[in-house]
């Protein structure tokens, strides 16, 4: 989860094994404003930026030195998504051996 403008943003991630790259992400839960943050979290252009990124990549917004371009007008929601992905990748790295068996 990442803290958004109106509450937590839940992100589901698909990681390609053994390459350890994201195959895609999707927002599973959020209470963001439907016409702003909700649009960003359902935008293929915004969410698609994560596809192909490696587990070790910097998932910050470009305004913070990362490679992800925030969704115009929904900076807080964009940051929440990047934080959620970062958190998910940290969990993946921590439990990688158990996940892969």
57-86 pLDDT, tens digit each: 989 999 999 999 999 999 999 999 999 999
3-state secondary structure the chain: CEECCCCEEEEEEEEECCCCEEEEEEEEECCCCCCCHHHHHCCHHHHHHHCCCECCCCCCEHHHCCCECCCCCCHHHHHHHHHHHHHHHHHHHHCHHHHHC
| pLDDT value, residue 17 | 87
3-36 pLDDT, tens digit each: 887 788 999 999 998 899 999 999 999 988 888 8
């Amino acid at each position: 989860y990442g803290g958004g403008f109106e509450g937590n943003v839940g992100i589901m991630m698909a990681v390609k094994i053994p390459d350890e790259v994201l195959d895609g992400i999707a927002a599973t839960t959020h209470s963001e404003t439907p016409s702003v943050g909700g649009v960003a979290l359902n935008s293929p252009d915004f969410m698609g930026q994560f596809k192909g990124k490696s587990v070790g990549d910097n998932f910050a917004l470009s305004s913070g030195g990362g490679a992800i371009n925030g969704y115009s007008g929904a900076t807080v929601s964009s940051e929440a998504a990047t934080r959620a992905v970062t958190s998910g990748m940290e969990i993946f790295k921590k439990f990688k051996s158990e996940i892969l068996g």
